[in-house]
Each structure stands twice: as C-alpha cells, then as structure tokens.
Amino acid sequence: MNLLKVMLAWLLLTQTVAFAEGEMVLRGPGTLTCGQFAKMYADAPDRMETMFFSWAQGYWSAQNSNNPNQHQYRDLAGSTDAQRAALRSYCDKHPLATYWEATEAVFRSFPLKEDANQ
C-alpha cells in the first residue's frame, strides 16, 4: 500500500501547467490543487509539507531574484512555521486553487522592502 501511495504522489508531482502545447510555465507540487495537497498532507503531514514548502521557498526566492531591475523585494525572513501555516490556511479556504496560487498569495503578504544595494 505504501508503494502505491508513493507512486501516486510521484505521478501527481510530475504534473505541469501548460499554456500552449509544448510550453510549460510551472512544474512540480505547485501545479496541484490545494485540495490535492490537503489529501496528501493528511496521509503524510511532515513529508508532504516539507516537499510542498520547499517548492514554495524556491518559488519565492526566484520571484525575488528574477527582477534585477526592480529595487524592491519581499522579505522572506519571517517564521517558517508561520509561512507554512499561511499556506495551509489559504489552501483550507481555497481547495480548488492551485498550490502555486497559495504560494503567490502568501508571497504578496510578505513585507515589501527596498534593496539598499541598488
């Protein structure tokens, strides 16, 4: 039974979001719905939250570093426990949204800072 769960998780996590044939915009856990995250979280909370939260942190870091001409960034220094809770809360309220949408909404809630190095 555990092998079946692992295989199902692998299939779900290798999904992609495409806008047009041959184009990929997102890949990985962020493409799943919050409802799918909730089901996987219920079966293996620590493992699933670590996997999904790692994806969110990578997304947030990329968002901050992907705009070299901007002189602002979102401060990611807050409590990771609070960040995880914010993602779970968003997903609880929006089960049909993608985990990416939750990640983006939480990212927009972080304090906006001026880059002193620019």
Report the candidate in 79, 80, 116, 87 with the shortest Cα–Cα distance to residue 103.
87
Tokens found for residue 58: 């990578």
Residue with more model confidence, 100 or 11: 100
SS3 110: coil
The closest alpha carbon to 16, from 96, 98, 106, 97, belongs to 98
Residue range 63-116, pLDDT digits in tens: 998 876 678 899 999 999 999 999 999 999 999 999 999 999 999 999 999 876
Which tokens is 67 given?
């705009």
Strand ranges, E, within 6-77: 16-17, 26-27, 72-74
Domains, the chain, in order of start with CATH, read 29-114 (1.10.890.30)
Q: How far is residue 110's CA from residue 73's CA, in Å, rounded to a whole number?
A: 9
